[in-house]
Chain A
Amino acid sequence: MGTIFKFHHDLDTDQIIASQYLLLPTIEEMKAHTFESLDADFSKKVRPGDFVVGGDNFGCGSSREQAPSVLKALGVKAVVAQSFARIFYRNAINIGLPVIVCKDLYEQVSTGETMELFLSEGLVKAGGQEYSCTKLPPYMQAILDKGGLIASLNEAEKSTKGGEQ
Chain B
Amino acid sequence: MGMTIAEKIIAAAAGVESVKPGDIHTVTLDRMMSNDGTTHLTIDMYHQQLDHPAIADSKKLVFIVDHNVPADNPKTAATHKKMRDFAREHQIDFWEGKGVCHQIMMEHYVRPGELIFGADSHTCTYGALGAFGTGVGCTDFLYGMVTGTSWLLVPETVKFNLTGKLRKGVYPRDLMLHIIGQIGANGVNYQVMEFSGEGAKTLSVNDRMVLCNLAVEAGAKSAIFEADEIALSWLKDHGRQPKQVFTSDEDAHYICEYTFNLDDIQPVVARPDFVDDVIPAAQACGTKIDEAFVGSCNNGRIDELRVAARLLKGRQVADTVRFLIVPASNDVYLQALEEGLMETFMEAGAIVMNANCSVCWGSCQGVIGENEVLISTGTRNFKGRAGHPSSKVYLASAATVTASAIKGFIATEDQL
Interchain CA distance A110-B223 in the complex, whole Å:
37
The interface residues of chain A lying within 8 Å CB-to-CB of B367 are 20
Q: Give the residue name and chain of the B residue nearest to A153 (CB).
A: B143
The interface residues of chain A lying within 8 Å CB-to-CB of B363 are 18-20, 22-23
Asked if B86 is an interface residue, CB under 8 A from chain A, the answer is no
With an 8 Å Cβ cutoff, the count of chain B residues facing the other chain is 53
The interface residues of chain B lying within 8 Å CB-to-CB of A15 are 382-384
Q: Give the residue name and chain of the A residue nearest to B77 (CB).
A: A23
Q: A66-B38, A150-B45 are contacts. A24–B51 as well, Cβ < 8 Å?
A: no
Inter-subunit contact A27/B151 (CB<8 Å): no
Interchain CA distance A96-B121 in the complex, whole Å:
20
- Residue-wise interface mask of A (21-62) relative to B, using a CB-CB cutoff of 8 A (1 in contact, 0 not): 011111100000000110000000000000000001100111
Minimum CB–CB distance from B14 to chain A (whole Å) comes to 14
Inter-subunit contact A65/B186 (CB<8 Å): no
Report B82-129 residues with CB < 8 Å from chain A CB: 118-121, 123
The interface residues of chain B lying within 8 Å CB-to-CB of A94 are 137, 139-140, 143
Asked if A115 is an interface residue, CB under 8 A from chain B, the answer is no
Inter-subunit contact B382/A12 (CB<8 Å): yes
Interchain CA distance A96-B416 in the complex, whole Å:
54
Asked if A91 is an interface residue, CB under 8 A from chain B, the answer is yes
Residue among B78, B185, B389 making CB contact with A60, cutoff 8 Å: B185
Inter-subunit contact B68/A23 (CB<8 Å): yes
Main SS of the interface on chain B?
loop
Inter-subunit contact B68/A90 (CB<8 Å): no
Asked if A116 is an interface residue, CB under 8 A from chain B, the answer is no
Residue among A22, A86, A139 making CB contact with B190, cutoff 8 Å: A86
Asked if A87 is an interface residue, CB under 8 A from chain B, the answer is yes
Interchain CA distance A19-B38 in the complex, whole Å:
11
The interface residues of chain B lying within 8 Å CB-to-CB of A61 are 121, 380, 382
The interface residues of chain B lying within 8 Å CB-to-CB of A20 are 362-363, 367
Residue among B24, B36, B121, B385 making CB contact with A87, cutoff 8 Å: B121
Measured CB to CB, the residues of A under 8 A from B are: 10, 12, 14-15, 18-20, 22-27, 36-37, 56-57, 60-66, 68-69, 83, 85-87, 90-91, 94-95, 137, 139, 148-150, 153-154, 157-158
CB<8 Å pairs between A and B, sample of 7: A25-B75, A26-B41, A64-B137, A85-B186, A153-B143, A154-B50, A157-B51
Measured CB to CB, the residues of B under 8 A from A are: 24, 36-38, 40-41, 44-45, 49-52, 67-68, 75-76, 78-79, 118-121, 123, 135-140, 142-143, 146-147, 151, 153, 185-186, 189-190, 216, 219, 221, 274, 361-363, 367, 380, 382-385, 389
